[in-house]
Amino acid sequence: MGRTPCCDRAAVKRGPWSPEEDEALRSYVQRHGSGGNWIAMPKKAGLKRCGKSCRLRWLNYLRPDIRHGGFTDQEDAVIISLYTQLGSKWSLIASQMEGRTDNDVKNYWNTKLKKRLLAAAATDAAAAAAVSIPRRSRPPPAVAVPRPPPTTATLTTSLFPALAIPTVKTETYTCDDFLAPTPAPAPAGDPFAAADGSATSASAASSASNWSSADTVAAGEAEASFFLLDFCAAGSHDLGAAAGQLQQQLPGGYYYHALDPSLSLV
Minimum CB–partner distance for residue 96 and DNA (Å): 12
Stretch binding DNA (CB under 7 A), from 10-18, 23-31, 132-140, 176-184: 10-18
Residues 72-101 that bind DNA (CB under 7 A): 88-92
Sort 139 into a burial class: Cβ within 10 Å, 0-12 / 13-18 / 19+: exposed
Per 3-state DSSP, what percentage of the chain is helix, strand, and coil (rounded to 5)?
Answer: 45, 0, 55
Smaller CB distance to DNA: residue 102 or 260?
Answer: 102
Binding of DNA by 107 (CB under 7 A): yes
Minimum CB–partner distance for residue 251 and DNA (Å): 22
Binding of DNA by 61 (CB under 7 A): yes
Binding of DNA by 52 (CB under 7 A): yes
Binding of DNA by 102 (CB under 7 A): yes
For residue 238, list its beta bridge partners: 264
Q: Is residue 238 classed as helix, strand or coil in its secondary structure?
A: strand
Q: How far apart are CA 61 and CA 184, in angstroms?
A: 41
Residues 112-151 that bind DNA (CB under 7 A): 112, 115
Q: Of 161, 180, 149, 142, which Cα lies nearest the Cα of 263?
A: 161
Q: Of 105, 210, 68, 84, which Cα lies nearest the Cα of 157?
A: 84
Minimum CB–partner distance for residue 5 and DNA (Å): 8
Residues that bind DNA (CB under 7 A): 3-4, 6, 9, 14-17, 34, 36-40, 50-53, 55-57, 60-61, 68-69, 88-92, 102-104, 106-108, 110-112, 115
